[in-house]
Amino acid sequence: MNVLSVDRLTKRYANFALENVSFSLSKGRIMGLIGKNGAGKTTTLKSILNLVTPDAGRVEMFGRDFMTNEKSCKQNIGVVFGGIDFYDHKRISDITAVTKRFYPNWDEEAYQKYLKAFDLISSKRVKELSSGMKVKYMLALALSHQARLLILDEPTSGLDPVSRDDLLSLFRQLVNGGERSILYSTHITSDLEKCADDITYIKDGKLLKTAQTSAFIEAFQHLKAPNEKAQLSLEEIMIRTERSTYDV
């Protein structure tokens, strides 16, 4: 069963267009959404969630049309957008007290577990948190209402290498049971090589390729120079693809 199905998703602005993006995410899998800055990753995620209204296309979550079942679908997803800020003078505990009212499935025990795992102190104010700690706090909120699908925009951005590795390990643990899936955008290709089952690549608002990670990497090996023997990494694939007019 697909947890998420995106079909020909389109969103047009004056100077940018996301055109006919289609992909699907199965249960128990992690998908990395990649592309350079401005390629359309955040627009894709916001369009999926109806945070911006798509001009065309269809989104299904848990086998249901998202637009007509938005409220119930959102009870089963956790969303983290790195650019979201809270009121600086509010304490973590105050924000949590308001947030958990929206989720009948709120799990206080899980929330406390993630606070401890992320070294978050509930009495701290938002202004006392680093960018990385803000991301961890938003993840703690997202993980505490038994979400079956996590949608994350650049979740590892701003984290030091050790914290990033810890977070990627957590992602793998979260999907191991086969019931939870993760879709996350990133420009850190080394993260994908460590934890992504599938990769979807967007270039200039268009879907370039979506596939299992190994098949994705293999599909771009023809970009190697004739004298190259080593397999191209994801980072090298992105660099060469962005510099060319290559299309799939």
239 in a domain, yes or no?
A: no
pLDDT at 84: 56
Task: Give the helix ranges, DSSP H, for the chain.
Answer: 41-48, 70-74, 92-99, 108-117, 131-142, 161-175, 189-195, 213-219, 234-242
Both structure tokens of 31: 């998908």
Both structure tokens of 8: 């020909």
246 in a domain, yes or no?
A: no
Q: How many domains does the chain have?
A: 1
pTM above 0.85, yes or no: yes
134 in a domain, yes or no?
A: yes
pLDDT at 248: 47
179 in a domain, yes or no?
A: yes
CA torsion, ordered 155, 158, 161, 166, to nearest 10 deg: -40
28 in a domain, yes or no?
A: yes
pLDDT at 167: 84
C-alpha to C-alpha distance for 197 and 121, rounded to whole angstroms: 33
Alpha-carbon Rg for the chain, nearest whole angstrom, is 18
**What count of other Cβ atoms lies within 10 Å of the Cβ of residue 177?**
9
Q: Report the side by side order of strands in the sheet with 77-81.
A: 64-65, 56-61, 2-12, 17-26, 206-212, 198-203, 30-34, 181-185, 149-153, 77-81
Tell the burial category of 165 from Cβ atoms under 10 Å away from its Cβ (0-12, 13-18, 19+).
middle
Residue 178 belongs to a domain with what CATH number? 3.40.50.300
104 in a domain, yes or no?
A: yes
pLDDT at 83: 56
pLDDT at 194: 86
Q: How many CA atoms lie within 13 A of 209 on its CB side?
A: 19
Domain that holds residue 150: 2-210
245 in a domain, yes or no?
A: no
32 in a domain, yes or no?
A: yes
pLDDT along the chain (248 residues), means of 10: 95 95 97 93 95 96 96 92 74 93 92 92 90 83 90 84 85 89 91 92 95 94 88 91 69
